[in-house]
Structure 1
Amino acid sequence: MTTPRDVVVTGLGATTPLGGDVASTWRAALAGESGARTFDNDWSVKYGIPVEFGATIKVAPDEVLPRPEIKRMDPSTQYAMIAAREAWADAGSPEVDGDRLGTVVSSGIGGIWTTLDAWDTLREKGARRVLPMTVPMLMPNSATAFVSLELGARAGAHALVSACASGAEAIGYGLEMIRSGRADIVVCGGTEATIHPMPIAAFAASRTLSLRNDDPAGASRPYDTARDGFVIGEGSGIVVLEAAEHAAARGARVYAKIAGVGLTADGYHITSPEPTGDGQRRAMAAALAESGVTAKEVVHVNAHATSTVVGDLIEARSIRGVLGDDADHVALSATKSMTGHLLGGAGALETIFTVLAVHDRQAPPTINVSDPDPELVLDLVRDTPRALPEGDIAAINNSFGFGGHNVALVVTNA
């Protein structure tokens, strides 16, 4: 049997509610800053939407991208392009045969702004005014297509759609592309731009959003007894994955190793997680088994933890169920308390946080937890970062999505 290729992270890119790049985003996360803010619009009054805030992008795309690109890309693709360019440059803009280069950039919802704007144009102005680029802009694979065109990636351009697990699943698929021998480098991650009145109204109708209009920065509070829902966010996270031998041959800087992925489905409910957390446990167990990492080696978990009443504790119990007593030495972080929930971009951004936590030996904090839920059975990192041990360490990033999608990634020091 052929030994699977080791896969390492050689580039990182992001644009988020905390910053316009990885460095500023990571600094803000370690400082415990919140990206949630009151909307600068009249949506609440105009449409009767009960939620007046979200974790909006910190740096607008028009400050980064030229106008011609803005006009032919949905915001979700704009975010992905910004993050992908940073990640590629961070990796050293490697010279690679396009046949050995792939992209996997996912979105949970895709070009919702383009879709709804085009419908408004059709209704109000007629078919002749609908832009010819509408379909390429709204399609869920638009981001991965544009990134692949930018880089000349021909090994494959994929867009896995698994709701809020999309970004993490994209990284897992990129891992498999390299391990299978299809590619030497894969640019992968997730993106989302759904801070639009329609999806906000829909999420509010499902009673999954926090209603703390008087305190946006304190609204996302995973594991706190007063949590009342998630804060919608937007942005993109992109990583450059590379076969370890390929990275070594060109002298690339390596952040960490993606050692394993676990993928499962609940088969239970379209929005609610399976109450026992069985699918979540199986995903984590599969990722650990594939990576060869033991529970004792896991020192950090970046939890999916969206700040919902039911979901947070199901995941906490699942983590304890997989790691057993070894969970006692795990530093748990819930970074959506700062970034909000980037939906299809969340798993990718949180993979970046997990990679940096292992690389920098610092677990980022969880903010807004003034009264931890007594049923939380894990050691939550609160308010300030926590140093992680020296030596060989491992971390898990969890991402779960509507439809019962479960993704766990294991990250180790390279």
Structure 2
Amino acid sequence: PYLSENSKTLVVGPSTWHEGTEIAQPITWSAHFTPLGQRLQESTATELLALRQLSTQSGITSLAMGLPDPALIPVERFQQAWEAILSRIGAEALGVSPVQGIAPLRELLSDRLRCQGVSANPENVVVVNDSQQGLDLLLRLFTEPGDTVITEAPTYYRNGMEVERVEFLLARYRPRLIYTGPTYQNPTGCTMSLERRQKLLTLAQRYQVPIIEDDPFSELYFDEPPPPPIKALDDAGHVLYLGTFSKCLSPGLRVGWLVAPQPVAKLATLLRRATDLQPNTLGQHLVIEFARRGWLDEHVAAARASYANRCQAMDAALRRHLPRGAKWHTPGGGLFLWLELPEQVAAHELPSETGQQGVVFLPGRFLYPTNGRQNVCRLNFSVPDEESIERAVAVLGSALCKLLCREVGVVAEQTLVSPAV
């Protein structure tokens, strides 16, 4: 910028504005943030983003991610499917999609859901850019800041949410929603029993509170299939059901679904149009092509077998390398194992030690809706291979022993431990 001699003629350059001798100051962005922006500034989101970026670096073994193994993604089949789609429908595969999702995919989802006992016509299905968007749409439709929602805090109960406490909370707080992930729950890997599912649904119907059932993992069972979704037990339309192909096929597709009664499905469709206009057209066609060729079920079966082996490898490694006092529950499916460390250990102090040896994991304090326990962490077994799992758990066990020595002043006994029952 340049000022004339008498400072009255203004010439504005590309970056700074002058009037007389006044120089514009940089904007204070934090003063312009909404309450949501302020909360994000004060949240743990920045730490989680840094952890995610660290997890993708070369030489890092990450037990922190919540993704399928990239090495299992069937790239060659995706290429074949892509070529077949282009040959058959051409530019349509790269064009616009109906806001609710293309009809063949909604019909496919309706058929697959019936196999799980869920009665859902195509008009009740809204295709979303993964279940995260479905959850966002539902929360914007049903809640406002200050409203109450019942959700699970990570616990050590193998049967999932403590339904016995829910009725007290329903009567006292009159929440707008109940949110639950009843099958191989993130982060604990626990599965709600059929009895608890039935009780939770009965309470929701009695108090007229909708349930959001988030179900990304139910197809990734290892031995026996899990109990039917809560939605399969729901004859009165109280359950809003979310699912995704991100965990069982590929996260890059960004194809998920919301199943809801017609009034909710209609409003969710209108709201998502105002958000991003439409779901991913190409991703929808790829899912349809995979299913049409029988590849979808083949891939899910292969992923189940691989993750079951890795889960067993992690359980065995924990038995070998963790000191006395550590407890865990080995899940029957999904992607995660929930580890409880001795009470005197703060899990967030361990990454500084394990990170130096190329191992990262997710301390449990990030995973509570409010202040939670400090001695817990979530371990992912779907991304690292079995050899990497063995090494990573050995590093974690060594770091834990060092921390225990420092905290209690004794040598931690690094010996076999039994998983929690």
The bucket for the TM-score relative to the shorter chain is under 0.3
TM-score, reference length from structure 1: 0.25
- For normalisation by structure 2, the TM-score amounts to 0.24
Which one has the bigger helix percentage?
2
Higher relative contact order (CA 8 A, sep 6+): 1
Looking at secondary structure, tell me which structure has more strand per residue: 1
